[in-house]
Chains A and B, each alone.
Chain A
């Protein structure tokens, strides 16, 4: 039977399914008590700063509706910035703005936003429009990332980000998420962004996944997405490895961006990272998680030893583990 054959094939490759991810990894590795640290981007950011993990500079936090009128003055000195809801999910409520004229701003797509509309948007965020449970939220304003030019040819507006799945402090699999026209400049796969796998050992891109099909070229720019060398690769692996130590969550999706001047920055953490990363890498996550579990104890000593082990062990090249 075709299905049984496929299941056997999946087992061989080590594909991780939803049930196993939930029961064996998330439930076992991620104590519920630590979830608020990753569900609130502002908390994550503060935590990261305390652990010397760089994040986009924080300009301002809006906690109460009463703070909104003085906002214009506070934003005076900044040329461009991003407004985010602290508890937003799936990229909703995030606005990227550049100063246009006195008091007005321009969105990524060229739309002019007067200060008045901006105040409305922040008011919405505070009311919890973008937080999934509808709880009251905080808005924060941070520096706009100017992405490293390496992905310029395969990005349609927006900022590409890099997702690294980390298990027990060891980076297991990663991909870069490239915005498309369909995703409206956002790097979320379910909004239509492309996920492109990255060879863990070499830091070069593999094939991509777009809407659960495999692609080799960006649909808007038509440039190949494969074979791109990701800058600061080892530094990012190290940041990801450290991120786990600071949260107490053992199975984590770490999202990073590469700023042209500042280098890699931590954006957010995800306690339930998706499984599509496996298609982007053409590799099974389960296989790698099992390898991590079998690693000798001294590998887990420091973030540096863990990254060293990764560079030695994981590669998408057929000769090694896959």
Chain B
């Protein structure tokens, strides 16, 4: 009985390691993946249309500054000529020339290494800049009156009060009706960014307007603006539209500072501007990737690196799901943990990638508990199976919606990400939780719940290991090895660890 399974497992292992050896020995793949570093691949593409005159396009580009190092810059000039300019602290790419009738595509890409921020004790505090241009002296005085009460406070607290005021809540120092009217008029004529800068200047806080991107895996056609404010120790990032201070460590990528727009054109028109940011795991692997892209070897042509980049991310995770399943085999058949459903913990782990572990577990079991209470009550109504499950499903969706709305209200992004939790799984978990408690008692129910959560946490931990993601991505044949282990586990007929405790009655007498 065991022989065929064993032979299959050995065959799968040989296939897996044979392919890996071939890649390492003949295709010269690196043996060990390097440690991950925070590297982002930045790229910008745009379409330029022009006329007969010389068109000039000026675009703010990321530059090496505190906390970030820009390397491997590559320019795609199209038919235009390219020049790099420095304007104050900004790095501006200038494309110029006569654009053909059809228009032209220009582009820029670079690799940005984000370095951990060192404490800036030695840094000179920045000097207070001038008031924004085109805001008159009477407005200066207005702003000074508005922030007067807060001047004795420490800088960080002053910033907090101003942020709140931008959001419309003035607290105890609500200005008189006349000032308030003038203030609203100022906001309407000069915009929130300028008025925020005026207030900060009046409060004696060095600040600068920044335009850039959120540092997250994304493709976007618009930039965001914020204000960097010096609070004596560090730069805080203020969002002037909502009066929100960004929580650290939120990563932002500044493109231009000091009110300079990121995009400027002269005698021409820019369209379809697109910024792409990709979290890159390891530089060394990027080189590997380039080699694979150019190689004509059979295995290289069939590498996952050849997939379009947006699908690669999915496969990085998918490659690890079988390991999660393997974990479940181990925890159920060797340890003996009970779980709800077989692959529920894997799906839970996938959902946790969006919400984070603590919030994910909390929301998950919160919804299950609410569902359980309702399910208990519904039991009295004696509904048929399918309508009953539908009611629970609706309840789950309502819970998720409420969580999302609460999250929005209190600024907890993780609560909004619960929408991506697998709701069908939640529904079935509620039903199974109820049945287990009814049939085998609350102890068994809680024990199964704990088992499921434990397996989900372990699986999540595995899915998040980036070197492992990459190893499987480069060597997908490792899946054969995983399958081999699964086959072997399928023929494990030994005792389960928890069975030993279950049968402890044997030696008590």
Contacts and interface: CB of A to CB of B under 8 A. Distances in A.
A pairs with B: yes
Interface of A: 3, 6-7, 9-10, 13, 15, 17-20, 23-24, 28, 89-90, 92, 120, 124, 127-129, 134, 190-191, 207, 209, 212-214, 275, 278-279, 282
Contact of B493 (A20, A129, A213): A20
Nearest to A192: B441
B409 interface: no
B496 to A, nearest CB: 6
18 contacts: A3-B500, A7-B494, A9-B506, A13-B506, A18-B336, A19-B492, A19-B493, A19-B494, A20-B494, A23-B493, A24-B493, A124-B382, A128-B384, A128-B385, A129-B382, A134-B386, A213-B505, A275-B503
A39 B386 CA distance: 22
B440 A190 contact: yes
Nearest to A22: B493
Interface of B: 1, 333, 336, 382, 384-386, 439-441, 444, 490-497, 499-500, 502-509
Nearest to B498: A18
B382 A278 contact: no
Contacts of B440: 190
Contacts of A23: 490-491, 493
Nearest to B386: A134
A212 B499 CA distance: 11
Given A7-B495, A18-B336, A23-B493, A282 B506 contact: yes
Given A24-B493, A90-B439, A92-B439, A17 B385 contact: no
Nearest to A90: B439
Contacts of B492: 19
Contacts of B500: 3, 6-7, 10
B384 A19 contact: no
B499 A18 contact: yes
Contacts, number: 78
Contacts of A120: 382
Given A23-B493, A190-B440, A207-B509, A17 B499 contact: yes
Given A7-B500, A190-B439, A15 B506 contact: yes
A134 B495 CA distance: 33
A28 to B, nearest CB: 8
The 6 closest A-B pairs by CB, nearest first: A134-B385, A20-B493, A279-B505, A17-B495, A214-B505, A19-B493
A122 to B, nearest CB: 12
Given A17-B493, A134-B386, A278 B503 contact: yes
Contacts of A20: 493-494
A279 B439 contact: no
A89 B497 CA distance: 27
A76 to B, nearest CB: 27
Nearest to B492: A19
Given A23-B491, A128-B384, A18 B496 contact: yes
Contacts of A128: 384-385
A191 B492 CA distance: 30
A19 B492 CA distance: 7
Contact of B505 (A9, A18, A19, A209): A209
A145 B444 CA distance: 31
B434 to A, nearest CB: 13
A208 to B, nearest CB: 10
A39 B508 CA distance: 36
Nearest to B385: A134
